[in-house]
Every structure is written in structure tokens, then in C-alpha cells.
Amino acid sequence: MPHIFMRNAVIVIAALGFAGLGAGSAFAETPLERGTYLMNSIVACGNCHTPKGPDGKALAGKELSGGDPIDSPVFHAMPANITPDKDTGIGKWTDDQIVAAIREGKRPDGTIIGPPMPIPFYRAMSDTDVHAIVAYLRSVKPIANPIAKSTYKIPLPPAYGPPVTHVADVPRTDHVAYGRYLATGLGHCMDCHTPAVAGRADMTKIGAGGNVFGSPNGGTILSANLTPGNPNGVAAWTNQQVKDAITKGTRPDRPLVRLMAFDWYKNMSNGDLNDLVAFLRSLKPVKSP
């Protein structure tokens, strides 16, 4: 759609002219616009941090005020209230403290944020995008809602790695690389879809699935093998069918279990969806067990 591309190009040029941005940061949007887009699409912090009703949909008016408990054999995790409420949310934290919480899993008091928050993936979030997310977090309605502490039967690591200082933007002209960034740094698709060994994603088998999740319908469900090594999934589908799985939660033969953030992913731009699909098609084929 060349005219849409042209329109964006005009906006970029206008932003360069009026805001005097450097050529390296040629986003058309303000940080708040970028953050609003990301948070309501690929990033979807709300899939964990917003409480849901019996239909599995996020409760209106409660955005980011603390999510439903997430249980595993080794933890009972309580997604925190991350609204700007000063007493029960993160209203007193500085921008840098919020950035450190997202990318390094560190709270201002030095304690470590535990799983299943996908910190190891968020470490790859660019400076531009993590600050855009902070701008959005500051813009949501403060909600007073105290959340109980999580409990862990496993020791939390002292840190998730060395401090994250500078993460550059991934060029959107490289569609597979940007798709990888969407699926890892921003969206943590590959957290659920990469086999975990001793609690850590085995990136030599990125996208091969096979992780066990408690299904909201009862019982358990395995994350799908998204690599071309699975003949019954993405590899056999058209690009549109892959996009429908991500944004509508449907396989060609049946609806998918409601674990993924379909209600957020449906707001992704077609360009971002195309890049995600291009990335999935580029994965090393791994056979389904």
C-alpha cells in the first residue's frame, strides 16, 4: 500500500523538521503515542497486570491495577498494581526505576521481581521503547488496589544479568530482525513458545513450543511448535491464517485456548504482523516431539 507508506514518510519528515530529532530516532510518534500503541498491542503487560472477568476478558476501568494470580508448582505469583497510584502502585518510582524494573527485574528497594514476568526477554527492549512504555504507564488512571505478595518455592536469582545500559533500536527496514524483536524483546512470544530447560528458554530450539500451561478451560495445554519443522501448524498455513491465529485466536481447524493476549495483539499494525510472520517463517525447523 504505497500511499500509506508515503503518508508515514511525510509525518517522519515533519517530525524531523519541527522537533529537530536526529536521523537515528525517526519515529513518527511521540513517546506517549508509541507507548500507547505498544501497550495495547504486542507488549500487552495487561494480559498479566489487568484483572479479568469470568469470560477471560480484561475488566473495564481496572487497567493495570493488578492481575489475577498465576500459579505453577513452584510459585503463586501476584502481578503487581502498576498504575500511578502513589501508595499501592508505582506512582512514587522515577522513570529510571521503572525502566530497571522492566529490563532488569529490580525494584527501587533492591528486591528482585520473580517469574513469570518475562524479564530475560525484556532486557532486549530498546531505550526508545522502554521509555515510551514508561510514558504510557504514567498516563493511565491511578487505582488504589493493594496486591498481596507473591510466594516462590524456588530461590530468585540475585540479578537477571549485568546492568542493562543502552539498547539501540532495531531497524524496521530489516523485517526478519524487527519481527524477532517483536517476538522476543517486546512481545515475549518466544518465552512461551521456546522449550524451557531448568526454567530457562533453550534458544537453540527457539519457537519449538512444547511448554505446559494450565488451560483456562481446565486441564493443560502445550504451547505450539511455530517452526517450519511442525507440518500441522504455521508452516502449512497462509500468512493470513497465521495472523488470524495471533489476532483472533483461531487455527484453521479450531479456536485456540485463551492464553495468548489476542485482545491486545488484534491492535497490531499490519506491518508489525507481517514482520512477525516473516520471523516465524525464518525459524530453524525443529521437529515436534
- Burial pattern 149-174, b for ≥16 Cβ within 10 A else e, equals ebeeeeeeeeebeeebeebeebeeee
**Residue from the set 34, 36, 48, 83 that interacts with ligand HEC by CB under 6 A:** 48
Closest by alpha carbon to 275, among 186, 174, 129, 192?
A: 174
Which residues, 55 to 74, sit near ligand HEC by CB under 6 A? 70
Which residue lies nearer to ligand HEC by CB, 26 or 258? 258
The beta strand positions in 78-159, using DSSP E, are 151-152
For residue 116, cis peptide bond before it (omega within 30 degrees of 0): yes
**Distance between CA atoms of 199 and 183, rounded to whole angstroms?**
19
- 193 is a site residue for ligand HEC (CB under 6 A): yes
**Distance between CA atoms of 124 and 61, rounded to whole angstroms?**
31
- 257 is a site residue for ligand HEC (CB under 6 A): yes
Which residue lies nearer to ligand HEC by CB, 16 or 128? 128
In total, the chain counts a number of residues equal to: 289
Q: Read off the DSSP letter of residue 223.
A: P
Which residue lies nearer to ligand HEC by CB, 12 or 138? 138
Closest by alpha carbon to 26, among 42, 15, 17?
A: 15
**Residue from the set 189, 201, 208, 283 that interacts with ligand HEC by CB under 6 A:** 189
**Residue from the set 245, 272, 275, 283 that interacts with ligand HEC by CB under 6 A:** 245
**Residue from the set 221, 266, 281, 288 that interacts with ligand HEC by CB under 6 A:** 221
- 101 is a site residue for ligand HEC (CB under 6 A): yes
Handedness of CA 22, 24, 28, 32 (dihedral sign): negative
What values do phi and psi take at 40, rounded to 5?
A: -95, 10
* CB of residue 145 to ligand HEC, shortest distance in Å: 11
Which residue lies nearer to ligand HEC by CB, 12 or 221? 221
Which residue lies nearer to ligand HEC by CB, 30 or 240? 240
Site track for ligand HEC across 14-33, x = CB under 6 A: --------------------
Helices (H) and strands (E) in the chain, counts: 11, 7
- 82 is a site residue for ligand HEC (CB under 6 A): yes
Which residue lies nearer to ligand HEC by CB, 16 or 278? 278
- Per the DSSP assignment, residues forming a β-bridge with 52 are 58
The site for ligand HEC, by CB under 6 A, has a size of 46
**Residue from the set 51, 91, 116, 271 that interacts with ligand HEC by CB under 6 A:** 116
**Residue from the set 80, 99, 208, 283 that interacts with ligand HEC by CB under 6 A:** 80
Closest by alpha carbon to 134, among 31, 37, 48, 65?
A: 31
Q: How far is CA 141 from its chain centroid? A: 21
- 106 is a site residue for ligand HEC (CB under 6 A): no
Q: Please, are residues 286 and 205 in contact by the beta-carbon 8 Å criterion?
A: yes
Which chain residues interact with ligand HEC by CB under 6 A? 42-43, 45, 47-49, 70, 77-80, 82, 90, 101-102, 107, 113-114, 116-118, 133, 150, 183, 187-189, 192-193, 213, 221, 223-224, 226, 233-234, 242, 245-246, 251, 256-257, 259-260, 265, 276
